[in-house]
């Protein structure tokens, strides 16, 4: 019998009503739970929500800071001496009963060249940070380290940005005489006139609160950074007066209203800039959309494991040949691939469209990423089903195979999706178990310059997509080889259930 005929025969044998109903239920679970979530999430803005910052490449970014600025032409520079940097953190743990002085690690104050005042426009900045020394950053994702250490009246830091056409160079100095180039960036398409000046910003204070069996959930509090500058010099092509504005909305919190408003104050040649927010790639907030549209995956995975494990046990009971076992594994893989492709292919675009319609900020996914998530998850469900099928063949008992399959595949994926276990334990479960394959659905990116909770419960997998898929493939090959090994029957096409 040819391979095509064998596969056709085994597909005919597989498509019993009970199995097809179970796989349909798995797909509908993914679709229903995903759409139920998206249909019931609405924007909490009292009126129209402010437009989200979008960079030139179409990505959503953070772009909020206080800016003391003026015009700068195609050739010119700004030089400042930064004498201090302080900050405020509101109600941090453990007692949450006071406002304290302090800087979060990525608080920023310094000088910046920016293509106008629009949020998301191109920029290059040289800054002092709360805990990472001097940094040169540009266009949200790019970060280059300068000197380490802080800044004070006893050890001020000189900062300089120089523009030559589209090229921006950041330099620093300890004494204002000996300069060190930190980095240079080319900002394509800069207009003849840009904005140059001083800025301050400070992202939220992220702390983790223990829950469950050692898991953690994120808590973020308002912070503010204050930079003090003097000896401000703008040369070459600078025109107009200084303006003081916020990029992004500011001065809405009680701290800013009643204690220290974000803004710029000049007195006797000393300029003090206060600001809150961040400039950089969008962190975790607003980027769990893909994760949340796939809430039904754990349930669907359990259904897939049960169906495949029982089918494998039936195959073992028939003493099927090695060729038949392989053919049935391919049929199982194909049926579950289609199930996953239909489920994810419907819920992901429909769920994201629903969220956009409800006023939720939804990051746009590049077409290759969208395809990788949909096709990748379909492939993962197919491979997980083959693992469960192989366990059924090897164990010869359906419920034993189901127990092992759920414990090995579905349980690690389910428990790591919630803040239940310590992050380190969740990381290792997603490195060592077949659930590693679900890394194909990760769309979140870890940025060193963005403080976030990079953990499985927050949607971050410890392995890249290809590595997670490789782990799952290794399990699949191992289980199928084990299932084929002890098969006592001769390598014939006998043993097919036609009932």
Percent of the chain with pLDDT over 70: 94
Q: Which of 362, 339, 338 is nearest to 350 (CA)?
A: 362
Higher pLDDT, 10 or 320: 10
Q: Is residue 490 part of a domain?
A: no
Q: What is the model's pTM?
A: 0.87
Whether residue 72 contacts residue 198, with contact meaning beta carbons closer than 8 Å, is answered with: no
The CATH number of residue 167's host domain is: 2.60.120
Whether residue 84 contacts residue 151, with contact meaning beta carbons closer than 8 Å, is answered with: yes
Q: Which of 281, 300, 319 lies at the terminal end of a domain, its last residue?
A: 281
Give residue 497's pLDDT: 41
Q: What is the mean pLDDT of the chain?
A: 91
Structure tokens at 396: 């010869």
How many domains would you assign to the chain? 2
Give residue 486's pLDDT: 54
Within this chain, do residues 17 and 76 fall inside the same structural domain, yes or no?
no
pLDDT at 499 over 80: no
Within this chain, do residues 233 and 314 fall inside the same structural domain, yes or no?
no
Q: How far apart are CA 384 and CA 435, in angstroms?
A: 8
Give residue 355's pLDDT: 84
Which positions ≥6 away from 51 have C-beta within 8 Å?
A: 119
Give residue 360's pLDDT: 75
Within this chain, do residues 166 and 314 fall inside the same structural domain, yes or no?
no
Give residue 52's pLDDT: 79
Q: Is residue 499 part of a domain?
A: no
pLDDT at 96 over 60: yes
pLDDT at 243 over 80: yes
Which positions ≥6 away from 390 have C-beta within 8 Å?
A: 312, 329, 476, 479, 480, 482, 483
Q: Which of 281, 309, 336 lies at the terminal end of a domain, its last residue?
A: 281
Q: Is residue 66 part of a domain?
A: yes
Q: Is residue 497 part of a domain?
A: no
Q: How far apart are CA 80 and CA 329, in angstroms?
A: 68
Give residue 48's pLDDT: 64
Of the pLDDT bands very low, low, confident and very high (cuts 50, 70, 90), residue 126 is very high
The DSSP letter of residue 440 is G
What is the dihedral angle through the alpha carbons of 131, 133, 134, 140, rounded to the nearest 10 degrees?
A: -40
Q: Is residue 218 part of a domain?
A: yes
Of the pLDDT bands very low, low, confident and very high (cuts 50, 70, 90), residue 286 is very low
Q: Which of 378, 304, 370, 372 is nearest to 341 (CA)?
A: 378
Give residue 57's pLDDT: 82
Of the pLDDT bands very low, low, confident and very high (cuts 50, 70, 90), residue 289 is confident
Exposure of 224 in the CB half-sphere (CA atoms within 13 A): 25
Of the pLDDT bands very low, low, confident and very high (cuts 50, 70, 90), residue 290 is confident
Within this chain, do residues 335 and 459 fall inside the same structural domain, yes or no?
yes
Query: Comparing 122-136, 250-264, 353-367, which segment has the lowest mean pLDDT?
Result: 353-367
Q: Is 116 helix (H, G, I), strand (E, B) or coil?
A: coil
Within this chain, do residues 130 and 31 fall inside the same structural domain, yes or no?
no
Domain region containing 158: 61-281
Of the pLDDT bands very low, low, confident and very high (cuts 50, 70, 90), residue 494 is very low
- The neighbouring-strand residues paired with 145 are 135
Query: Comparing 115-124, 145-154, 238-247, 336-345, which segment has the lowest mean pLDDT?
Result: 145-154
């Amino acid at each position: 019998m040819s391979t095509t005929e064998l596969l056709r025969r085994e597909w005919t044998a597989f498509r019993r009503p009970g199995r097809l109903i179970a796989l349909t239920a798995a797909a509908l679970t993914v679709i229903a739970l995903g759409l139920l979530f998206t249909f019931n999430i609405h924007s909490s803005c009292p009126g129209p929500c402010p437009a989200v910052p979008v960079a030139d490449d179409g990505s959503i970014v953070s772009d909020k800071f206080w800016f003391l600025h003026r015009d700068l032409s195609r050739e010119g520079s700004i030089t400042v001496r930064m004498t201090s940097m302080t900050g405020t953190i509101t109600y941090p743990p453990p007692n949450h009963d006071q406002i304290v002085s302090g800087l979060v690690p990525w608080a920023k104050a310094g000088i910046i060249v920016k293509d106008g005042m629009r949020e998301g426009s191109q920029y290059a900045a040289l800054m002092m940070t709360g805990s990472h020394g001097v940094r040169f950053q540009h266009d949200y994702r790019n970060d280059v380290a300068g000197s380490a250490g802080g800044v004070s009246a006893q050890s001020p830091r000189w900062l300089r940005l120089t523009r030559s056409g589209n090229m921006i160079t950041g330099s620093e100095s300890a004494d204002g005489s000996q300069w060190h180039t930190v980095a240079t960036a080319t900002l394509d398409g800069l207009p003849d006139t840009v904005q140059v000046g001083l800025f301050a910003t400070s992202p939220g204070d992220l702390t983790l609160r223990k829950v469950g069996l050692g898991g953690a959930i994120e808590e973020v509090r308002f912070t503010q950074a204050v930079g003090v500058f003097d000896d401000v010099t703008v040369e070459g092509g600078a025109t107009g007066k200084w303006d003081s504005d916020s990029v992004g909305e500011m001065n809405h919190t009680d701290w800013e209203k009643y204690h220290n408003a974000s803004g710029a104050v000049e007195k006797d040649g000393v300029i003090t800039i206060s600001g809150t927010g961040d400039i950089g790639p969008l962190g975790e907030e607003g980027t769990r959309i893909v994760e949340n549209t796939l809430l039904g995956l754990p349930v669907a995975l359990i259904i897939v494991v049960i169906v495949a494990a029982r089918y494998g046990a039936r195959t073992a009971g028939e003493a099927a040949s090695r060729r038949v076992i392989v053919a049935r594994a391919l049929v199982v893989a194909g049926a579950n691939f289609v199930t996953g492709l239909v489920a994810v292919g419907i819920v992901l675009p429909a769920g994201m469209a629903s969220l956009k319609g409800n006023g939720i900020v939804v990051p746009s996914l590049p077409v290759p990423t969208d395809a990788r998530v949909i096709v990748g998850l379909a492939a993962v469900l197919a491979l997980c089903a083959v693992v469960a099928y192989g366990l059924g063949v090897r164990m010869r008992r359906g419920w034993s195979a189901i127990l092992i399959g759920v414990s090995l595949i579905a349980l690690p994926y389910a428990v790591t999706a919630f803040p239940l276990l310590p992050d380190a334990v969740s990381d290792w479960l997603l490195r060592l178990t077949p659930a590693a394959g679900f890394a194909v659905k990760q769309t979140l990116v870890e940025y060193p310059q963005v403080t976030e909770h990079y953990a499985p419960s927050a949607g971050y997998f410890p392995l890249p997509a290809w590595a997670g898929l490789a782990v799952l493939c290794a399990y699949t090959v191992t289980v199928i080889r084990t299932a084929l090994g002890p098969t006592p029957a001769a390598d014939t096409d006998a043993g097919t259930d036609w009932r």
